[in-house]
């Protein structure tokens, strides 16, 4: 390398230092929303459709309505690669951007959520973790800034067990049965364990915990253990390549796929397509009312975004994770809209948006108006309940598409709530947070 | 005129050139006094704490880790792909010491001691995993250090004791009280990291130009010859492993406490190890300064790649940026190894050589 | 009987899984044997080969080519991509580093890894692409002897057969062709080989090409197993302990090492894992390799290294 090249590099670095303040000054009448996503690495297969859904929905609002109540949405993606430290870096990079700073964060990673929970508290920025994140953050009194919309992992665990009980023909049939949990060995995969242990004690089944190490390409011995121990059902808590590999290994050890039930993060098209016919019969939860498929909002997308060639999804359009990304974006936007009723139609700060999210109330009519009818059930967030809705259905892969095979289940709070109370108050104690009094209006 | 050394003491000073000395003092003054002041008054680019938290803080901590790696790889020639594991040991043990170990009746220790003990634990395991280096070397050793990486990834995931039995397996730093002073704001975090870096960089610099450092370099250049000259490979290699792991462990604890706040083993996986190795190669093998240059380069390129296309109005997806970044890093590694195997630090040195003769080059 | 059956099942599937690691490890051995370069990029090459193959296949099938023709053309295309990759690596990375020490070359291949990963995903995409070249269901064997029988995965057996054929072909190539012998000469000493007139550039190109083709075979099997996606690069990390155990320079060693690693880690995971927390196969192979190194620093089949001043 020559001295000249070194000088060039120096000049480039100098250019960067100059350019960063410029970035921050732009967009005075825009609401800035950061989008932490992953389009590379071991989890890109799931990260891409989700991020496409979020991004397309923001584009739809900008193209069709000129933003939120006339305030344009400026959003920027930041690649986290599903890695906690990169997530933190993205957070630091984007939290102060735009006229009023970041509206909210939604990192699509439980690990990153754990890392950001404290930081968002200090910086007063809400963090939306729809269907993932800390299960105890349902308790808004302690976790004022976390919003695990539509369902936590503890709700998911309970719903999965409800379905197992139903297939077996009653809750009393669970006694003496063996249920295996095959989970991604990370905060994400470990979250459901407390609820499952509570349920195991209550109903008298044994829980087999089988961790799969990141990224999950090697699961042969896990499934050999399943073949030897023959659990009655297998719950799958995987992500990325792990999901598809699990389905294939289940087939390889001839474990019946219809006895494998995945969480809602293990039930998308990239998880079953690589397994081909072997995935037929595999079941998974949906988050909310439905998984894949086109609804009213998709027609709007085609008309306002895809007709102008501004959409970014390809095959993943209207797939499970794409739709989930859209719902995720919609809930965040509706939170902003709610906040605007109080603070006016202008770019809002994270603190103001937090109020909007906490008072978010989407009845069925509003959901229909937004074009999401059939995709999710009514959501009502309160200070005590940051989850808002906790129902799911079970879907089954028929080789071509996901088919709904059950009605709505609603998680039983009598099992999850004591855990929420216990673990969130432990957290509050550790971090010296005084729980808010939710009976007082803000 | 030039600068000439007229005594042994002058020959042995840490920065032999006057301009260098002045430069270092200026830099220290800038980092210790001016920067915090600028931040306090929000002078650009410190309008927000972005520059501080997203660039300076990680730069300082990763530089420290890179110094640790450089001692082992650059000075002692023992290539290691397991640095991430030693960062993890530092982080988790500091966490354990910082929150108290009830099993042996140890109360929560002050945070500075916790961090240093975290470093010591890393040093202990560094020596343990360095033992094979007495028997195997080169590429075989590189693969052997991977054993440490994978083993400790697993240990911190599976052994619940290290995470104080947290159900999710993710832990968060204890209250950061340094000698009774609560560190919370970005500026305070920056200062803490800076002080650690200055102290350890000085220690490292002095170690490598002292007796032990020369032993390391002799081992690196040719271990059999070094042994014949009376250098004991056991002492030299294991001390390199110990010092290097100690510094990496301290950096790991700082990374966890100051930067991440809450973390899981994945924060210290093999990618972290490779990244540290890259910093050392690009910055300059066997150079303390190189560790800083390498860390700066690795940190700034991705930010630059994200900001630049957006500034120029070129639509580019984050995925593409990330692939591009891989290509640039990889390309840089190859390029540096081929054209200038001693990295950025060597370029700097060439400049300095010219300064030494200034204003009359030969 | 039940226990014995289970044990045999774990052992057999472990051995077969090990052969699949060997397939990746073979690429490492080839390059090390012929150039003394420890090629960290082998995993990235598997990814590149897999992506090229599967994308070409998809493209050709969409154009309406019949299955067998599409597969053949797909393989040809992927082989061409690997040839280009071999050429570029040789020309721009290793060529300029000729006669440098092994560690420098090793670090250069780490750099090459990142370039290949970046370019491969940039050109061919970073989603998951299903590949179905081999059957992936299972046989149940010896059902009469053991209750429940012993489960054998067909894909693993295919992997074993192909690995065996590859080893034979490679052994013949090294032993009986002029290029093969030249390769071995280069491996011993770059400078000496150059001085007796062996065209080192050409030799290195050939060896990287052969390693690329081995990567292609590995990609076909692993792609069928996992779907072609980024995670396939993690296999390189699985193959490293195989190499350590087998020795860097031995083709049969790579196979034996694979068998030991595969069987060892599966048996350990199933019978030891439940007691110490599970997931131990993540590091078991490495610790095993470390243990082997302490006893035999050059691996089971590696050549003894004699150092002189």
Complex-level ipTM: 0.85
Residue B360 confidence class, pLDDT cut points 50, 70, 90:
low
B305 touches chain A (CB under 8 A): no
> How many angstroms separate the CA atoms of A425 and A420, rounded?
8
The owner of tokens 């052992």 is C11
pTM for the structure as a whole:
0.89
C131 within 8 A of C221, measured Cβ to Cβ: no
Contact list in A for residue C278 (CB cut-off 8 A) is: 209-211
My answer on whether B212 and B289 are in the same domain is: yes
Return the CATH number of the domain spanning residue range C2-295: 1.10.3470
Give the lowest-confidence range in B112-116, B356-360, C108-112: B356-360
> Which of B150, B277, B323 is the closest to C286 by Cβ?
B150
Would B362 be classed as within a structural domain?
Answer: no
Give domain status of residue B215, yes or no.
yes
Both B298 and B163 in a single domain?
Answer: yes
Assess if residue B62 is contained within a domain: yes
Residue-wise pLDDT for C245-272, tens only, equals 888 888 888 889 999 999 998 888 888 8
In the prediction, which pLDDT does C294 show? 81
B302, part of any domain: yes
**pLDDT tens, B33-62?**
888 877 777 777 666 777 788 888 999 999
Q: Quick check: C25 pLDDT over 70?
A: yes
What is the maximum alpha-carbon separation in chain B?
A: 69
The residue among B76, B138, B139 with the most chain C CBs within 10 A of its CB, best to mutate, is: B139
Alpha-carbon distance of C271 to B350, in angstroms, equals 59
CA pair distance B127, A39, nearest whole angstrom: 39
How distant is the Cα of C124 from the closest Cα of chain A, in angstroms?
12
State the pLDDT confidence band at B106, using cuts at 50, 70 and 90: confident
Tokens of A340: 């605007």
Residues B39/B46, Cβ–Cβ less than 8 Å: yes
The whole-angstrom separation of Cα C20 and Cα C254 is 11
- Report residue A228 as tokens: 């030897």
Average pLDDT of every residue of chain B: 86
The domain of B33 spans 15-42
Q: Are both B219 and B337 inside the same structural domain?
A: yes
- On average, the pLDDT of chain C sits at 85
Check CB contact under 8 Å for A48 and B319. yes
B310-328 average pLDDT score = 80
Q: d(Cα C171, Cα C253) in Å, to the nearest integer?
A: 12
Helix, strand, coil percentages (3-state) for chain A, rounded to 5, are 50, 15, 35
Two tokens, residue B138: 């080169």
- What pLDDT does residue A336 have? 94
The top-scoring range by mean pLDDT among A134-143, B351-360, C290-299 is: A134-143
C-alpha angle C214-C219-C220 in degrees, rounded to nearest 5: 100
pLDDT band at C35 (very low <50, low <70, confident <90, very high): confident
Residue C146's pLDDT is what?
73
- If contacts are CB pairs under 8 Å, which of residues 92-131 in chain C contact chain B? 92-93, 96-97, 102-104, 106-108, 110-119, 121-122, 126
> Does B272 sit within 8 Å of A81, measured CB to CB?
no
In a domain, B5, yes or no: no
Q: What is the pLDDT of residues B204-214, one digit of tens each?
A: 999 998 999 99
Domain total in chain B: 2
pLDDT of B165 higher than 80: yes
Structural element, H or E, at residue C61: helix C42-63
Mutation target among B233, B322, B328, B337 for the C interface, most CBs of C within 10 A: B337
Q: Does C278 touch chain A (CB under 8 A)?
A: yes
DSSP one-letter string for A40-67: SSTTHHHHHHHHHHHHHHHHHIIIIISS
User: Which residues 147-176 in chain B show a CB within 8 A of chain C?
Assistant: 147, 150-151, 153-154, 157-159
Q: For residues A233 and A181, what is the distance between their CA atoms, to the nearest angstrom?
A: 9
Q: Are residues A44 and C230, on separate chains, in Cβ contact within 8 Å?
A: yes
CATH topology of domain A153-290+393-414: Rossmann fold (3.40.50)
- Asked if B262's CB is within 8 angstroms of A115's CB, the reply is yes
CA gap C284, C92 in Å, rounded: 37
Q: What is the mean pLDDT of residues B5-30?
A: 78
Which member of A213, A274, A278 has the closest CB to residue C279? A213
In a domain, B1, yes or no: no
Rg (CA), chain C: 20
Residue A140 — left, alpha, or beta (φ > 0 → left; ψ -120 to 50 → alpha)?
A: alpha
Q: Which two tokens stand for residue A135?
A: 């299960």
Burial of C288 (0-12, 13-18, 19+ CB in 10 A): buried
**Where in the sequence of chain A do the CATH 3.40.50.2300 domains occur?**
24-152+292-390+421-431, 153-290+393-414
Give the SS3 label for residue A235: strand
Q: Give the long-range contacts of residues A404-412, CB within 8 A, separation 24 or more.
A: A404/A286, A404/A290, A405/A283, A406/A163, A406/A166, A408/A289, A408/A377, A409/A159, A409/A162, A409/A163, A410/A159, A411/A151, A411/A154, A411/A155, A411/A156, A411/A158, A411/A159, A411/A162, A412/A158, A412/A162
pLDDT of residue B361: 58
Helix (H, G, I), strand (E, B) or coil at A205: coil
pLDDT tens for chain A, 442 residues: list them: 444 444 444 444 444 444 443 344 445 788 999 999 998 888 988 999 999 999 999 999 999 999 999 999 999 888 888 888 888 888 988 888 888 889 999 999 988 998 898 889 888 999 999 999 888 899 999 999 999 999 999 999 999 999 999 999 988 889 999 999 999 988 889 889 999 999 999 999 999 999 888 888 888 888 988 988 889 999 999 998 899 889 988 988 889 999 999 999 999 998 898 888 889 999 999 988 778 889 999 999 999 999 988 888 888 898 999 999 999 999 999 999 999 999 999 999 999 999 999 999 999 999 999 999 989 889 999 998 999 889 999 999 998 889 999 989 999 988 999 999 998 998 888 888 888 888 877 6
Q: The domain at A24-152+292-390+421-431 falls in which architecture?
A: 3-Layer(aba) Sandwich (3.40)
Taking an 8 Å cut-off on Cβ atoms, the answer to whether C126 and A248 are in contact is: no
Per-residue confidence (pLDDT) for residue A20, from 0 to 100: 41
- Give the range with max mean pLDDT: B238-247, B323-332, C293-302: B238-247
């Amino acid at each position: 390398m020559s001295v000249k090249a070194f000088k060039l590099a120096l000049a480039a670095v100098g250019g960067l230092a100059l350019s960063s303040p410029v970035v921050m000054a732009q967009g005075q009448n825009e609401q800035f929303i950061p989008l932490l996503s992953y389009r590379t690495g071991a989890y890109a297969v799931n990260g891409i459709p989700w991020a496409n859904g979020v991004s397309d929905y923001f584009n739809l609002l900008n193209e069709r309505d000129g933003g939120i109540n006339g305030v344009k949405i400026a959003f920027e993606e930041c690649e986290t690669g599903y890695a906690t430290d990169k997530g933190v870096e993205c957070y630091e990079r984007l939290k102060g951007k735009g006229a009023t700073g970041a509206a909210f964060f939604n990192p699509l990673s439980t690990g990153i959520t754990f890392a950001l929970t404290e930081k968002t508290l200090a910086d007063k920025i809400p963090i939306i973790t729809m269907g993932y994140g800390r299960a105890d953050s349902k308790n808004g009194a302690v976790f004022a800034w976390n919003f695990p919309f539509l369902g936590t992992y503890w709700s998911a665990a309970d719903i999965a067990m409800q379905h197992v009980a139903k297939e077996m023909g009653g809750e009393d049939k669970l006694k003496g049965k063996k249920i295996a949990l095959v989970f991604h060995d990370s905060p994400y995969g470990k979250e459901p364990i407390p609820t499952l242990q509570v349920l195991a004690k209550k109903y008298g089944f044994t829980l087999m915990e089988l961790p799969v190490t990141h990224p999950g390409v090697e699961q042969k011995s896990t499934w050999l253990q399943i073949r030897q121990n023959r659990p009655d059902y297998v719950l799958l808590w995987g992500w990325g390549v792990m999901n598809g590999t699990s389905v294939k290994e289940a087939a390889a050890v001839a474990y019946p796929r219809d006895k494998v039930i995945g969480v809602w993060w293990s039930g998308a098209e990239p998880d079953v397509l690589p397994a081909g016919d072997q995935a037929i019969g595999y079941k998974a939860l949906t988050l909310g009312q439905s998984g894949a498929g086109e609804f009213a909002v998709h027609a709007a997308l085609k008309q306002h975004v895809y007709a102008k060639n501004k959409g970014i999804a390809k095959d993943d359009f209207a797939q499970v994770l794409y739709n989930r990304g859209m719902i995720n974006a919609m809930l965040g936007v509706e939170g902003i809209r709610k906040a605007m009723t109080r603070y006016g139609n202008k770019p809002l700060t994270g603190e103001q948006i937090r109020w909007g999210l906490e008072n978010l109330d989407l009845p069925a009519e509003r959901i229909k108006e937004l074009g999401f009818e059939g995709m999710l059930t009514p959501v009502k967030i309160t200070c005590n309940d940051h989850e808002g809705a906790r129902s799911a259905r079970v879907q089954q892969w028929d080789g071509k598409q996901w088919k709904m095979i059950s009605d709505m289940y609603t998680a039983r709070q009598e099992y999850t709530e004591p855990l929420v109370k216990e673990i969130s108050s432990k957290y509050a104690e550790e971090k010296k947070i005084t729980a808010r009094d939710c009976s007082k209006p803000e | 005129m030039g600068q000439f050394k007229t005594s042994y003491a002058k020959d042995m000073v840490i920065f032999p050139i006057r301009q260098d000395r002045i430069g270092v003092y200026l830099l220290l003054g800038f980092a210790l006094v001016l920067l915090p002041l600028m931040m306090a008054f929000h002078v650009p680019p410190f309008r927000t704490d972005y520059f501080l938290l997203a660039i300076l803080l990680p730069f300082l901590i990763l530089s420290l880790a890179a110094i640790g790696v450089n001692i082992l790889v650059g000075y002692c020639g023992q290539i290691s792909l397991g640095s991430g594991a030693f960062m993890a040991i530092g982080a988790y043990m500091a966490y354990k010491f910082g929150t108290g170990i009830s099993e042996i009746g140890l109360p929560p220790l002050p945070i500075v001691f916790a961090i240093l003990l975290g470093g010591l634990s890393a040093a202990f395991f560094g020596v343990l995993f360095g033992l094979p280096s007495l028997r195997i070397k080169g590429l075989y050793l590189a693969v052997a250090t991977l054993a440490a990486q994978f083993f400790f990834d697993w240990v911190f995931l599976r052994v619940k004791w290290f995470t104080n039995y947290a159900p999710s397996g993710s832990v968060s730093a204890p209250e950061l009280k340094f000698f009774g002073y609560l560190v919370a704001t970005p500026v305070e975090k920056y200062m803490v990291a800076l002080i650690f870096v200055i102290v350890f960089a000085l220690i490292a610099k002095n170690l490598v130009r002292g007796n032990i450092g020369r032993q390391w370099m002799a081992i690196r250049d040719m271990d059999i010859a070094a042994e014949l000259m009376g250098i004991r490979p056991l002492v030299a290699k294991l001390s390199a492993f110990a010092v290097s792991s100690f510094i990496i462990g301290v950096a790991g604890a700082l990374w966890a406490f100051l930067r991440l706040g809450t973390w899981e083993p994945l924060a210290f996986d093999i990618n972290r190890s490779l990244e540290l190795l890259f910093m050392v190669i690009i910055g300059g093998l066997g150079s303390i300064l190189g560790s800083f240059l390498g860390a700066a380069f690795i940190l700034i390129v991705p930010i630059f790649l994200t900001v630049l296309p957006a500034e120029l109005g070129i639509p580019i997806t984050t995925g593409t940026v990330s692939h591009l970044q891989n290509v640039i890093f990889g390309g840089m590694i190859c390029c540096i190894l081929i054209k200038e195997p001693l990295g950025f630090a060597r370029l700097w040195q060439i400049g300095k050589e010219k300064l030494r003769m200034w204003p009359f080059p030969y | 009987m039940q226990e014995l059956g289970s044990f045999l099942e774990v052992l057999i599937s472990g051995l077969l899984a090990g052969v699949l690691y060997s397939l990746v490890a073979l690429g490492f051995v080839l390059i090390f044997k012929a150039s003394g370069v420890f090629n960290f990029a082998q995993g990235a090459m598997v990814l590149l080969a897999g992506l090229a193959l599967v994308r070409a296949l998809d493209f050709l099938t969409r154009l309406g080519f019949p299955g067998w023709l599409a597969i053949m053309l797909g393989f040809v295309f992927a082989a061409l991509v690997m040839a280009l990759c071999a050429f570029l690596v040789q020309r721009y990375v290793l060529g300029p580093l000729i006669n440098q020490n092994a560690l420098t070359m090793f670090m250069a291949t780490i750099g090459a890894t990142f370039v290949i990963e970046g370019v491969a995903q940039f050109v061919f995409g970073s989603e998951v692409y299903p590949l179905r070249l081999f059957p992936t269901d299972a046989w149940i064997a010896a059902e009469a002897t053991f209750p429940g029988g012993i489960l054998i995965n067909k894909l693993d057996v295919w992997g074993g057969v192909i690995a065996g054929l590859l080893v034979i072909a490679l052994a013949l190539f090294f032993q009986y062709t002029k290029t093969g012998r030249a390769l071995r000469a280069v491996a011993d000493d770059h400078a000496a080989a150059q001085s007796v007139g062996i065209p080192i550039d050409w030799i290195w190109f050939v060896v990287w090409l052969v390693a690329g083709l081995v990567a292609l075979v590995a990609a076909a099997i692993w792609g069928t197993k996992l779907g072609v996606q980024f995670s396939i690069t993690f296999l390189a990390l699985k193959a490293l302990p195989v190499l350590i155990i087998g020795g860097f320079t031995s083709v049969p060693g790579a196979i034996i090492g694979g068998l030991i690693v595969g069987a060892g880690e599966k048996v350990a995971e199933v019978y030891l894992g439940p007691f110490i927390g599970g997931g131990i196969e993540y590091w078991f192979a490495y610790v095993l390799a470390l243990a082997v190194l302490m006893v035999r620093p050059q691996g089971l089949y590696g050549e003894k290294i004699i150092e002189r001043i």
